[in-house]
Amino acid sequence: MNEQKLKQLYSEVCNELKNNILPYWINGMQDQFNGGFYGQIDGKNKLHPKANKGGILNARILWTFSSAYRVLKDPIYLQAAQRAKEYISKYFIDPKFGGTYWLLTYQGEPCDTKKQIYAIAFTIYGLSEYYRACGDEEALNQAKALFYMVEKYSFDSLQNGYFEAYSREWILLDDLRLSDKDANEKKTMNTHLHILEAYTNLYRVWKDKILERQLTNLILVFLDKIIDPSTNHQNLFFDQNWKSKHQIVSYGHDIEAAWLIDEAAKILGDKELLSRVHSACLKLADAAREGLQADGSLIYELNKTTNHRDTDRHWWVQAEAILGLLNAFELTGQSNYLEEALKTWQYTKKYLIDHKNGEWHWSIAQDGTINTKDDKAGAWKCPYHNGRMCLEIIERFSNYSI
């Protein structure tokens, strides 16, 4: 029974990736005039050719097409990955102070030169995946150099963890926020999660002892400081000394972390740590499931102070829910996780995928209204969450290919 369901899921995500997600970016987002990729297609599917170009968007494009080429071997994906890598190398990497710029104009001029560790982590993630895909030594060396910069400037050797944001010259900023929606705190779950994700991928191709130590440490930071043992949810914002500052539950980040932390521990191969991680990740996945709705969707977040629930169904939350639930199914063999993942996929196919114009909508309101105010492609709307979901399923369940 499960075998047939997984075969169908495999077939459907293959089709979604090859015929909807990736073509949208190849056909609509390559900037033939100024190089690289455009900065924005809005929620009504209108291209903005003079939009600024974000570091996160470009790093995520690099990761997605590198991974797509590595898994699917279609040279058109390698061409897109090469385009992203060359643009990042030429325009985003700071040749004087190291690290990467936050934002460029559409012509490639730096317009915000701050060093946001979150964005640098994604660049490490993308470059290491590019090396995995095609063996490009320059990409690996660039990833290593960025790793050293993060460790040199961002790591807190006194209280552990990583600080958020710096000036171009690596002076800690007063405004550390990743976006206007975030709290201005010294340390965040989100940045730590994506440093862990980046270091995991870098460690696949570079078995460095310092990297191994810091990746192990990051896992322990999640187990000992970020995950709240009283709720099994993650806390999101912290001061320098790891005091939790805001009582917010992010269901999408919980379910995403539940498989990313597990993946990191598997790559390291420490059996004792892996046993502890498996238990914690299952508890984290189960805590995230508190946000699952009857229609199969996972809502955005809960403010525990005001008890307000943001019930919007975001594209990335559904993608991570499907993957996180499938990971829990693989860990336990319990079919309820598989059934929930499939139900979230059904919801996603019905409501979030834009079958007319391609890609996925940003979010759907509880009443079913499509959010066209936020981007279809942009600084925060990238092919990485939904593309990665498809690629992970293709890799994990390759024995179900038809």
pLDDT digits (tens, 9 = 90+) for 171-206: 999 999 988 888 899 999 999 999 999 999 999 999
Whole-prediction pTM: 0.98
pLDDT of residue 179: 87
d(CA 81, CA 125): 13
d(CA 212, CA 207): 7
d(CA 206, CA 148): 13
- Collapse the DSSP code of 5 into the 3-class scheme (helix H, G, I; strand E, B; otherwise coil) and give the result: helix
pLDDT of residue 154: 99
54, 378 in Cβ contact below 8 A? yes
CATH code, residues 2-400 = 1.50.10.10
- Collapse the DSSP code of 41 into the 3-class scheme (helix H, G, I; strand E, B; otherwise coil) and give the result: strand
**Tokens linked to 318:** 């559904």
DSSP H/E element including 390: helix 384-396
- The mean predicted confidence, pLDDT, of the chain is 98
pLDDT of residue 1: 83
pLDDT of residue 402: 55
More confident residue, 224 or 180: 224
pLDDT of residue 183: 87
- Of the candidates 141, 94, 158, 138, the one whose C-alpha atom is nearest the C-alpha of residue 120 is 94
DSSP H/E element including 386: helix 384-396
Count of CB atoms situated within 10 Å of the CB of 208: 14
| Section 164-177 average pLDDT | 96
Tens digit of each residue's pLDDT (9 = 90 or more) over 206-220: 999 999 999 999 999
**Pairing status of strand 103-104 against strand 363-364:** unpaired
Torsion angles phi and psi, residue 63, rounded to 5 = -60, -45
105, 39 in Cβ contact below 8 A? no
DSSP conformation letters of 159-180 = T-SB--EE-TTSPBPS---SST
d(CA 77, CA 230): 45
d(CA 272, CA 278): 10
pLDDT of residue 312: 99
pLDDT of residue 381: 99
Strand partners, 110: 104
- Of the candidates 1, 69, 2, 3, the one whose C-alpha atom is nearest the C-alpha of residue 399 is 3
CA-based R_g, the chain, Å: 20
Count of CB atoms situated within 10 Å of the CB of 380: 16
DSSP H/E element including 309: strand 308-310
Tens digit of each residue's pLDDT (9 = 90 or more) over 108-139: 999 999 999 999 999 999 999 999 999 999 99
d(CA 185, CA 187): 6
| Section 338-343 average pLDDT | 99
Taking CA atoms, 14 is separated from 22, 194, 351, 374, 389, in Å, by 11, 26, 19, 26, 10
| Section 31-53 average pLDDT | 99
Tens digit of each residue's pLDDT (9 = 90 or more) over 83-100: 999 999 999 999 999 999
What is the distance between the terminal CA atoms of the chain, rounded to a whole angstrom? 16
Residue 243 is given by DSSP the state: -
301, 288 in Cβ contact below 8 A? no
Q: What contacts 101, CB < 8 A, 6 or more positions away?
A: 55, 91, 92, 94, 110, 112, 113, 114, 168
Q: In what order do the strands lie in the sheet with 103-104?
A: 53-54, 103-104, 110-112
Tens digit of each residue's pLDDT (9 = 90 or more) over 266-320: 999 999 999 999 999 999 999 999 999 999 999 999 999 999 999 999 999 999 9
Positive or negative, the Cα torsion across 273, 275, 279, 285? positive
pLDDT of residue 225: 99
Does residue 246 carry a pLDDT above 80?
Answer: yes
CB hemisphere CA count around 208 (13 angstroms): 18
338, 326 in Cβ contact below 8 A? yes
